Amino acid sequence: MPCSDLSDAPLLRLHGLVAGYGRIRALHGVDLEVRRGQIVALLGANGAGKTTTLKTISGLVRASAGRVLFEGRDITALRPSDIARLGLVHVPEGRRILRGLSVRENLELGAFTVRDAGERQRRMRHVFGLFPILERRQHQDGALLSGGEQQMLAMGRALMQGPKLLLLDEPSMGLAPKLVLEVMRIVRTLNDEGATVLLVEQNARLALRLADYGYVLESGAVRMQGSAETLRDDRTIIEAYLGA
């Protein structure tokens, strides 16, 4: 039953999200929206709560108050595996490539919920089309890839899950400048192909070149938000929150 209210609703909505680690409270009521088709940048200094926000969305950290709505549905209490099955896919900080598994096996792990073997094959071909280097290295141990290649493998594994929403945690971290640009190009490609993206980046200028909209987190709360254009042109924001 078509319902314009639902299709106009944001793909992801955080409402007053509070979360932390034991007695340490890392998020103090975060409100945030990601609309279908957008790239939204989540910015902020080290320790601002960016990673915790992504982990709370994907169920790895439990919210103690507030709600996470995905496609209008409350997913706050769901298990991480059930959240992933809905098409909300988290590429964590540090990539988490599994040692002892080949590149191909790492990719297959991404599609473990896909029952149809033909569909798994189709997705693998798609990932190899985007990342030819992964096809050439498919039989090599994933942990032996370079940093840039591991990031491609982490994104490829996420793509195998058929994401509606990709949560990317600092995909450019530790990469040489040329590879950083390559990773950003890939993020754009994934978005062009239909994935909505919530992108955590330390490099605010870079993220705002790519994004449609941005949020600046500070000490676990949204301090500012606006179109990427607005944030990009605001010198006080760049200097105060993002580092010139």
Ligand X SMILES: Nc1ncnc2c1ncn2[C@@H]1O[C@H](COP(=O)(O)OP(=O)(O)O)[C@@H](O)[C@H]1O
38 lines the binding site for ligand X (CB under 6 A): no
Which residue among 7, 16, 37, 47 contacts ligand X (CB under 6 A)?
Answer: 47
Q: Examine residue 44 and tell whether it contacts ligand X (CB under 6 A).
A: yes
**For Mg ion, which stretch binds (CB under 5 A), given 20-28, 43-51, 132-140, 145-153?**
43-51
- Which stretch, 42-50, 61-69, 147-155, 209-217, contacts Mg ion (CB under 5 A)? 42-50
Residues 194, 165: Cα–Cα separation, whole Å = 9
DSSP readout, 187-225?
HHHHHHTT-EEEEE-S-HHHHHHH-SEEEEEETTEEEEE
193-214 exposure pattern, b = at least 16 Cβ within 10 A, e = fewer:
eebbbbbbbbbbebbbebbbbb
Binding partner of 52, given Mg ion, ligand X, none, CB within 5-8 angstroms per partner class: ligand X
Q: Nearest distance from residue 219's CB to ligand X, in Å? A: 8
CA distances from 90 to 59, 72, 219 (A): 10, 19, 22
Structure tokens at 94: 């540090």
Please identify, using beta-carbon distances, which residue of 127 and 166 lies nearer to ligand X.
166
Touching ligand X, residues 181-210 (CB under 6 A)? none
Euclidean distance between CA atoms 160 and 175, whole angstroms: 23
4 lies in the site for ligand X, by CB under 6 A: no
Residue 46 interacting partner from ligand X, Mg ion, none (CB closer than 5 to 8 Å by kind): ligand X
Return the residue of 11, 26, 30, 51 that touches Mg ion, per CB under 5 A.
Answer: 51
- CA pair distance 146, 153, nearest whole angstrom: 10
Q: Strands, DSSP E only, in 77-169?
A: 88-91, 165-169
Window 50-109: residues binding ligand X (CB under 6 A): 50-52
User: Binding residues for ligand X, per CB under 6 A?
Assistant: 21, 24, 26, 44, 46-52
